[in-house]
Amino acid sequence: MALITRVSRLFAADINAIIDQIEEPELLLKQSLREMQETLAASEQRLSALKHQLTQLDEQLAQTKHRHVQIEEELDVCLAADNDELARAVIRRQLQITNTIESLVNQQSDVATHIAAQQQLAAEQKKDLSSTQQKANLLTPTPPGTAPPSDLISQDQVEVALLKEKQRRKNR
């Protein structure tokens, strides 16, 4: 029984090693970064759409308030003429406009809440993407034949620095 367990563990380890080699961690990391960038772009697009919606609601509210003022003037005329029947019709329109204004204000509030949440989400996504990109830069090996910026120091520069250090230490 112990032999079967050992063989099965060995087989499982070999399979996991093969899968690890097939996956190519660099490609998975790059794909993950692309997906994070796409998610961030989608969030920013939703944020833009919400801001556009808020602008439209602002315009509708301004037009509706202007219409409310006009109806107030019409009501003044009806009441001044003692025409109660016409005044009732104008009051009905006034009540409808008031309800529309309340609805638009509520929609504005909802959209503003969604905008704040979407801005927070986008900020978190940007932070996560930046962090992941920094980690990826640290983990991604440099291609052969290229040196990282810290290795761009020439041998002559090292020799000159060595001589300066020796001279500085002698003068102590």
DSSP sequence for 42-83: HHHHHHHHHHHHHHHHHHHHHHHHHHHHHHHHHHHHHHHTT-
Tell whether 21 is covered by a domain.
yes
Number of domains within the chain: 1
Tell whether 122 is covered by a domain.
yes
Tell whether 61 is covered by a domain.
yes
Residue 7 pLDDT:
73
Tell whether 28 is covered by a domain.
yes
Tell whether 109 is covered by a domain.
yes
CA distances from 8 to 1, 12, 13, 16, 17 (A): 11, 6, 9, 12, 14
For residue 49, the enclosing domain spans 2-138
pTM of the model: 0.63
Tell whether 169 is covered by a domain.
no
Tell whether 107 is covered by a domain.
yes
Tell whether 146 is covered by a domain.
no
pLDDT lower than 70: segments of the chain: 1, 16-17, 19-23, 25, 140-152
**Looking at residue 107, which CATH number applies to its domain?**
1.10.287
